[in-house]
Amino acid sequence: MHPGKRKTLTRDWSRLYLGTGLFFLIGFLFFGFSSLFFAEEQPINATPIGEEQRLTNGQTATLLDWSHDEARKQMRVRLQFNQPQDYASKLVARIAYKERPTDEQRVRVVYHQDEHYVFEIEDVPRDFDQLALRLYVVNSEQSLEKLSAAKREDALVESLYMDQRRVLQTSLSIQQADDYAQLFLADEHLQSQKRIKNMKRELTEQASLIQQIEQDIEIKKDTLPDLTLDEQVEREDEIFNLKHDKEDALLRQTELKKQLTQEEKRQDQLCIKARELKW
């Protein structure tokens, strides 16, 4: 081979090896140190809307709405308990941001009627990341700030969380007491409709179950004469168990019918209240 051609081939192969090596080196640096350039997304921490939360004092609370108005730097939270607070106690709310968990800030109660609460949070930064709404129940004459750390922790009944990626971004207008009352009535009416729908579905399931049990009992009774004495004893036990299951299903059906009647009456009352507020 001509000496000049051999040098050219050697140079070409050297360039190929060098290019391949640089390619793998750049790939290793990019993927190996990508965490330095691309921060991992943190998990979303947000209390579900519309789901009951069990409190440490035995009550339940449902977060109905959590809205954020970036322009006004304000948040509004609507909360419903399963029953009003006892007269000897009061509900106190505070917020804390994720980056400053020990720095609690006051929350304004703009509406409170029985088990319904509306809180407003002021001076919320545009990029608040995550925050917690902490609910304390203390005696009426007590001050949360004067409690010891241990008693303050005992007074905490629940922490509700909101994430910047989950909060409802909206424009918050100034509302009156009747406006909030209508919102809560609408929520209660919707929840009542869901309960009625679930009860009717379960009633249909119970009716089908009772019918199926009755059919099974009749089939087993018809086969009794063809069985041996021992088999008849075993079959009678099966029939007895089926009759017991039928009694349980009938009791559940009766209970559901009562609950359905009560819920339908409650829904009628909600409709009356809604009409009265509109007047």
**Domain boundaries defined on the chain:** 52-175, 179-278
pLDDT at 109 over 70: yes
Q: List the beta bridge partners of residue 117.
A: 79, 112
Q: Which helix (H) or strand (E) holds 12?
A: helix 3-32
Model pLDDT, residue 160? 95
Query: Which pLDDT band holds residue 151 (cuts at 50, 70, 90)?
Result: very high
Q: What average pLDDT does the segment 155-166 reach?
A: 92
Write out the CATH class of domain 52-175: mainly beta
Sorting pLDDT into bands at 50, 70 and 90, what band is 131?
Answer: very high
Confidence category of residue 9, pLDDT binned at 50, 70, 90:
very low
Say if residue 188's pLDDT is above 90: no
Task: Report the pLDDT value the prediction gives residue 154, as an integer from 0 to 100.
Answer: 92
The H or E element containing residue 235 is: helix 229-278
CB-facing half-sphere around the CA of 115: CA atoms within 13 A:
14
For 20-40, what is the mean pLDDT? 50
pTM: 0.64
Query: Could you tell me which residue, 168 or 35, shows the higher pLDDT?
Result: 168
Average pLDDT over residues 13-25: 56
Burial of 140 (0-12, 13-18, 19+ CB in 10 A): exposed
| Cα 258 to Cα 142, 249, 262, distances in angstroms | 42, 14, 6
- What's the average model confidence in pLDDT over 55-84? 90
Q: What whole-number distance in Å separates Cα of residue 124 and Cα of residue 96?
A: 11
- Report yes or no: 45 and 130 within 8 Å, Cβ to Cβ: yes
In this model, does residue 211 exceed pLDDT 90? Answer: yes
pLDDT on residue 272: 83
d(CA 25, CA 127): 38
Q: What is the DSSP letter of 144?
A: G
